[in-house]
Each structure stands twice: as C-alpha cells, then as structure tokens.
Amino acid sequence: MFSLGGLFVLWLIDVVLIALQLLQPADGSQYIMNYYGPRVSALRFGRKMATDQQMQMVAELEMEMMSDMYRRMTTACQEKCIANTFKEGELTKGEAVCLDRCVAKYLDVHEKLGKRLTTISQSDEAALQKMSQSDQ
C-alpha cells in the first residue's frame, strides 16, 4: 500500500508529464516546467517566446494543480484527524493539532518535491543542450 506522500509524488509526476506533453511546441523547441511551491512557470527555449495562449494554458494548469492538491490535502487530513461522529461543534485541541501537523507535512512534501523536480528538469535541459551542441 502506498503512503500519502508516495501517492502525491506519483500524482504530481503524472501531472507534470501531461503538462509537458500539452505544451510541446510544434517547431521542436523545448519547454521546461519549473515547479516550486505554489508557482509554475514555463520557459520556452527555442526560436520564439511562448504565445499568450500557451501561457494561459500554463496558468490554467497551475490553477488545476493547486486546486487538486488542496482537495487531496483537505480530504487526507480530514480523514486522518477528524472522527466521523461529532461530539462538539468546534474542533477539539487534538483535532486542531493533528490538522495543523498534517497540513504542514503535506505542504513540506509538496515544496521538497517541487525543488527536486526543478533540479531534475534543469539537469535534463543541460544534458539536452550539451547533446545538441555535440551533434553540431
């Protein structure tokens, strides 16, 4: 069985791969998806800058990714920390502490994963540029 962090990593990798496929330009130039924290930026390396339509697609993808991450985090932390039967209208101290820790861990994993994916994409781009220079 996968842990919550493991499932999140698999989900985020799928989202990044789908985004890279959607943003692949017709002229063969490359996009790099840099993901760090709540921001996604797409940089295009090639002859032209990204069009407004492509940047709009990136912005929409960012909103989708953040909404999905928030939904998953809310669901996971609620299932873990809040009982299905309510004795009080307010959160208990234990529930509040559990939710706080759960959200902090979720966001910490999200940030670390974002940094790691950025490092990987930068090293991949450097390798592609090196290969392209050696072919010439």
Residue 132, token pair as written in the block: 């392209």
Tell me, yes or no, whether 8 lies in a domain: no
Q: How many residues does the structure list for the chain?
A: 136
**At 96, which CATH number?**
1.10.287.810
Residue 135 forms part of a structural domain: no
**pLDDT one-digit tens code per residue, 24-50:** 445 444 444 444 333 344 444 444 455
Give me the number of domains the chain comprises: 1
More confident residue, 114 or 1: 114
Three-state secondary-structure class, residue 69 = helix
Q: Which residue has the tokens 């529930």?
A: 95
Q: Is residue 68 part of a domain?
A: yes
* Structural domain boundaries, residue 75: 54-129
Q: Which residues contact 118 (CB under 8 A, 6 or more apart)?
A: 34, 35, 36
Domain contains 39:
no
Residue 32 has what pLDDT? 42
